[in-house]
Amino acid sequence: MALPASGTISLDDIRTEFVGGSDEISLLDLYKGAAGGNAIIRDKAANNSATDLSAGIPSSGAISLDDFYGTERTFQYTYSGNTSNQSASTIFGDDYTGNYRKRFIIDSGVTISDATPTGNAFTFPSGAGGELEMTNDGTISVAGGYCIDNESSVTVAVTNNGSITATDRDYFNATFDGDGSAKMDFIGGQGGASGPDIYHSDYGGGFNCKLTRSSNTFTASWTYNELDYSNIGPGSYNVSSIFPLDGSGNLDYTDTNEYVINANAGSAGADTRDIAFGSKIIDGKREFWFCSNNKNTDLTLGSTMTYYQPGWQTVNVTTSNSRRSSICDFATGATTFGSVTGV
């Protein structure tokens, strides 16, 4: 707590703020930065970006009680503009480990956040010394990470006058976080014996397609398409519309719409290859389905949730036949990790 800015001030006040205990002290013990770096009142490290709240205390020469008006044994950093992914050790530099109070202040109207799926708004790494404080008059928010991640053994004491919020989120896995491809098994099947198979040769047969991401375009492709006992050859279909993206090309976890594509991949004799692709949020997670049949079929989501061939078969569309695990992961957000009070 800052010492009085005017009026009466005593050595007892100074001892309480800067020294602690009840032993006698002398002003001569309180020169700033004295005793070869072991000073009670520290000089601020060159790589410390915070404000030194005891900067006016002299390091030599005349010293008096008046020099301590309004001072505090604290390094304080104030956020007046939006930013993200802050590390206390980066802000306080070499003073992070010192036995000194370190304080963050977030001004009203300011947001500290992190845009990455498992990133943290604030991190307090191990090795902290002294006291850790935060006054939040703004907003701290994350989607999938921690608002305040305290990995140190020192408790972070928060005075929260603003908002601290964390939400969960879907995000592309390592395969599709950028250009990549993977096998997607189809659900569905055949409407007769003459054309059961469609697959991509990269996966050695079966009933599948290859999903490829190139920039923000997603394409399903196959090299074999059996209709009326013959292979009509390779094909592909742009399925980008079932992948809602944000402006950075990430999976838009805030989009709660469902998306369905019903299309055709060729005909031969009595057969016609229908294909369908869809995605929908179930229990907060986006599920994805890839469907095919060698007769006319229709994928319906909503309350029906079927892949339906009139007069032949109906396949229930569920989370168990979703291909989500091949496409994305899920991050659970939390307001704090470690020892944090006041949240």
Instruction: Return the domain boundaries, the chain.
Output: 11-170+334-341, 174-326
DSSP conformation class of 321: G
pLDDT tens-digit readout, 259-282:
999 999 999 998 899 999 999 999
CA distance 72 to 130: 13
pLDDT at 35: 52
Averaged pLDDT score across all residues of the chain: 91
Rounded mean pLDDT, 85-94: 97
The model's confidence at residue 64, banded by pLDDT at 50, 70 and 90, is confident
Q: Which residue has the tokens 């390091």?
A: 59
pLDDT at 191: 60
**Which whole-number Å values give the CA distances from 117 to 21, 86, 252, 324, in the listed order?**
46, 15, 11, 17
pLDDT at 49: 96
CA distance 59 to 46: 17
pLDDT at 118: 86
pLDDT tens-digit readout, 22-51:
777 788 888 888 654 557 888 899 999 999
Q: Which sign does the torsion angle of CA 223, 325, 320, 168 carry?
A: negative
* Nearest residue to 169 via CA among 284, 53, 322, 39: 284
pLDDT tens-digit readout, 126-169:
999 999 999 999 999 999 999 999 999 999 999 999 999 999 99
Q: Is the pTM of this model over 0.85?
A: no
- pLDDT cut 70: percent of the chain above it: 96
* Cβ neighbours around 98 below 10 Å, total: 18
pLDDT at 77: 98
- The pairs formed by 262-267 with CB atoms below 8 angstroms and a separation of 24 or more are 262/298, 262/299, 263/237, 265/198, 265/222, 265/225, 265/235, 265/237, 265/292, 266/225, 266/227, 266/232, 266/235, 267/227
156 Cβ contact partners less than 8 Å away, ≥ 6 residues apart: 124, 132, 133, 134, 148, 150, 338, 339, 340, 341
Whether 194 has a pLDDT exceeding 70, the answer reads no
Q: Which sign does the torsion angle of CA 80, 84, 88, 89 carry?
A: negative
The model's confidence at residue 6, banded by pLDDT at 50, 70 and 90, is confident
The model's confidence at residue 195, banded by pLDDT at 50, 70 and 90, is low
65 Cβ contact partners less than 8 Å away, ≥ 6 residues apart: 9, 10, 11, 14, 27
Lowest mean per-residue pLDDT among 56-60, 85-89, 227-231 = 56-60
Whether 170 has a pLDDT exceeding 80, the answer reads yes
